[in-house]
Amino acid sequence: MSTTVIDHGLDADATADLAATALILARRFAAGATLWCVAPAWEPHAQHIAVEFVHPVIVGKRALPAVALTGHDPVGAARMSVRPGDILIAVADADDPEVCSLMRRAPAWGAVTVWIGHGPRPPTGAADRVLWFDDPDPRLPAAGGFVRTYHLLWELTHVCFEHPGLLTSPECPAEVCVTCADEGRLAEVIATHGGTATVRTATGIETVALTVTGPVATDDLVVLHAGAAIGTVGTHVDDRKSLADIGLPR
């Protein structure tokens, strides 16, 4: 009987990605964030991540708010749960339709996103942070690589807490006129009212004009500029463009 060993070692790029992701998480947690975990095809991973953060195994480490979102409608569950400033972490392949939708909608909810997976990578800019194994071996999700990744993420997040000076994000530049600036923000439609729509953005609920886009539907994603919707954004998994591809920052 022979056994095939799958190497899950992390190269320099992967370790740098982990460190940068941990810093983002630490800053969000320090500001009061909750971590929401999804893994539609592998729900035990979502549950494991949540337990890892909320129930630390090392004495003296703080418990951090984390919840696994399970069930048949992770998008609906996240829409009801996620608040501006929160963190959404997903464990899934790049073609998982639910996770693709979550990653595209999360910026409109004000959440930072982390995507752990393997095989073909998601498009550039599909999530704020991507922690990826290029190995397409279907055994990988059960072979320890993912678990090691989020264990290290938990440990590095707590390392950041040991250095309080790291927990404050750099100050944003001075405000500019949104009408003159090249500003585009993502929003999710909550309701429509003839020529206007009520939308959810990273900063709250707004009413915007639909003069440019024409009619939209509830749950559509739109791009906002100066109080108006100026375009729509596809949400289907077959639409491989990321937010970066259409010029929106994450």
Q: Crossing angle, helix 145-161 and helix 43-54, to 10 degrees? A: 20
| 60 vs 70, higher pLDDT | 70
Overall fold of domain 12-166: Rossmann fold (3.40.50)
Q: Helix or strand or coil: residue 89?
A: strand
* Mean pLDDT confidence for 59-67: 90
pLDDT confidence band for 6 (50 / 70 / 90): very low
The Cα 69–Cα 79 span in angstroms is 11
The DSSP bridge pattern shows strands 112-118 and 66-68 to be: unpaired
Structure-block tokens of residue 105 = 């909608």
Please, are residues 51 and 2 in contact by the beta-carbon 8 Å criterion?
A: no
pLDDT tens-digit profile of 87-103?
999 999 999 999 999 99
As a whole number, the mean pLDDT across the chain is 86
CATH 3.40.50.10490 domain position(s) in the chain: 12-166
**pLDDT band per the 50, 70, 90 thresholds, residue 180:** low
- CATH 2.30.30.140 in the chain is located at 173-250
The C-alpha angle with vertex 53 and arms to 155 and 26, in degrees rounded to 5, equals 60
239 pLDDT exceeds 50? no
Output the pLDDT for position 2: 37
SS3 at position 17: helix
User: Shortest CA distance to 43 belongs to which of 96, 107, 113?
Assistant: 96
Under CATH, what is the fold of the domain 173-250?
SH3 type barrels. (2.30.30)
Residue 177, pLDDT > 80, answer no
Q: What is the pLDDT of residues 206-236, one digit of tens each?
A: 999 999 999 999 999 999 998 999 999 875 4
